Structure 1
Amino acid sequence: MRSKTCVVTGSSKGIGEAIAERFGEAGCQVAVNYRRSEEAARETVESVADAGGEAIAVQADVTDQAAVEEMAGRIRDEFGRVDVLVNNAGITQDVRFTEMSHEEWDVVLDVHLDGTFHCTQTFYEDLADAEEGRLINLSSIVGKGGNFGQANYATAKAGIFGFTRTLALELAPEGSTANCVAPGFVRTDMVERIPEKIRERIRGDTPLGRLGEVEEVAEVVAFLASDRSSFVTGEVIDVNGGKDL
């Protein structure tokens, strides 16, 4: 992967940050995308550099097509054509369905589905023209099994599966791949906000008996981004501690 140009959306913290740092360890050029957390994004840039890569922080709201296109121009000016796109940006607006507003529904689908569409469309030609382009979409265990209070999030994450498999077919003639990583419950700020009683139940329902670490997800993404995964496409890779849905 050395010298490949990688874009990781929503990479100022959490799983995205870990992916960016892992790409840095591989000697990549990394575009660290963020929406609001500029300071955190710049810290990620420093971490990528410390790991051995090169990085820039690029602000863009992925729900805004024009902003994504502007971001793409900055990345190409700095690093050239993009080889790897990781659609990781995401949010939650958790509420029981009977109390969910249309706004709470829309904003989650906008980030996960429209954001993935905007970024993939903007960088599609880069990935197709790359020697072995890599599209990697982050979904979730919730997209397969659902979760109380997350009808919007579960729907969005399930949609990523079909999107990934379709893009795998369309990129295949160019020799490029598209895959999806579906993490289980991983120790992030989002999961840490879950009450301890529920987190304890999650650990108990997971065969490995613990939450995942962001680095464990990043390692799978790094494999899918590398030349070693050249015959893997259209797959949904679960990283969930053995939880059977």
Structure 2
Amino acid sequence: MANGAEGGELAGSVAIVTGSARNIGRAIALKLAAQGAAVVVHARSSRGDVEAVVAEIEGRGGRAASHLGDLGDPEAARALVAAAVERFGRLDILVNNAALRRDAPIEEISAQDWTDVMRSILDATFYCCQAAIPHLSAGGQGAIVNIAGVAAHSGIGGRAHVVAAKSGVVGLTRGLAAELAGRGVTANCISPGYIDTKRDHVPPHFQERPVPLGRPGTPDEVAAAALYLCGPSGRFVTGHTLHLNGGWFMG
């Protein structure tokens, strides 16, 4: 991996990656930092994991800072953006990856479960975008990348609340793209399928139906897609959902 301090296609830019203490978010934070971006690494409460990612970035010559907060609270979202701008002087990239996933049949989803999932996925994405847009617009080259998921397109049993929230993220992304294009800000969505991450179990829908390419994806493959959408090569792409699922869903 290239030394982030020596430059790269994102040299001089500043990025926030929410939910970046582990898995896909961590891979995205490392990828952006390796290409020269200063990265704010975020988690809701996992301070040790966040600090480990920051140390990893800095150990490779990059710049990073940590931030904790529950982004379902609009004040916390504004505080995250303010901390990034205060620390690094600007904001160019926002990657909304933080999410909460729960499994339950539709009849067993409680009002609290519904609220928690919506809050962590859709509400947090909206609040972070709203707080970040003035700063992203200022440079005329801002980029928003929202991480959705295959459930938003295929429909998956046992996760109606997650499907609804992720579908909302896809719709929000399109609305952002249409509204922000004239301000030089792109907004795109990545929809991962089965990615080989640390998880308690493989979701049943991936057990029952194999991935056509014969393997799960990797966090680094999702990170490479995020880099493309955030970088100079992706400046003519907006309002798009990029499917990364090995052929599991073909949209």
Would you say 1:16 and 2:25 are equivalent positions? Answer: yes
User: Which residue in the other structure is 2:12 paired with?
Assistant: 3
The residue correspondences of 1:35-74 to structure 2 (distance < 5 A) are 35-74=44-83
Give the counterpart of 2:226 among 217, 221, 227: 221
Q: Give the superposition deviation at 1:199.
A: 5.0
SS of the residue corresponding to residue 42 of structure 1 reads: helix
How far the C-alpha of 1:189 sits from its partner, in A, is 2.2
Shift of 1:110: 0.7
Identity %: 34
Q: Are 1:31 and 2:40 an aligned pair? A: yes
TM-score (norm 1): 0.94
Counterpart in 2 of 1:138?
147
What runs of 5+ residues in structure 2 fail to find an aligned partner? 1-9
Query: Would the aligned equivalents of 1:88 and 1:137 in 2 still touch at CA under 8 Å?
Result: yes
Query: Which structure 2 residues correspond to residues 173-188 of structure 1 after superposition, within 5 A?
Result: 173-188=182-197
* TM-score using structure 2 length: 0.92
Alignment of 1:147 with 2:152, yes or no, is no
Tell me the secondary structure at the aligned position of residue 189 of structure 1: coil
Alignment match, 1:208: 213
Stretches of structure 1 lacking an aligned partner (at least 5 in a row): none
- Offset of residue 14 of structure 1: 1.0
Aligned residues of 1:15 and 1:215 also touching (Cα < 8 A):
yes
Deviation digits for residues 95-124 of structure 1, max 9, x if unmatched? 000111111111001111110111000011
Q: Report if aligned partners of 2:156, 2:205 keep a CA contact under 8 Å in 1.
A: no
- Paired residue total: 241
Q: Does the 8 Å CA contact 1:164/1:234 hold for their aligned counterparts?
A: yes
Q: Which runs of 4+ in 1 moved over 3 A?
A: 197-202
Q: Are the equivalent residues in 1 in contact too, given 2:150–2:249 (CA < 8 A)?
A: no
Which residue of 2 is the match for residue 240 of structure 1? 245
Number of the residue aligned with 2:126 = 117
Aligned to 1:77: 86
Matched letter for residue 189 of structure 1:
K
Write the distance in 2 (CA, Å) between the matches of 1:124 and 1:81. 12
Distance 1:50 1:242 in 2: 36
Alpha-carbon deviation of 1:243?
1.8
Q: 1:97 aligns with which of 89, 103, 106?
A: 106
Partner AA of 1:201 in structure 2: E
Task: Confirm or deny: 8 A CA contact 1:34 1:58 kept in the other structure.
Answer: yes
CA displacement 1:146-197 (0-9 Å, x = unmatched): 212100001100111110011001110012200000000101123x5227x8
Q: What is the deviation of 1:50?
A: 3.0
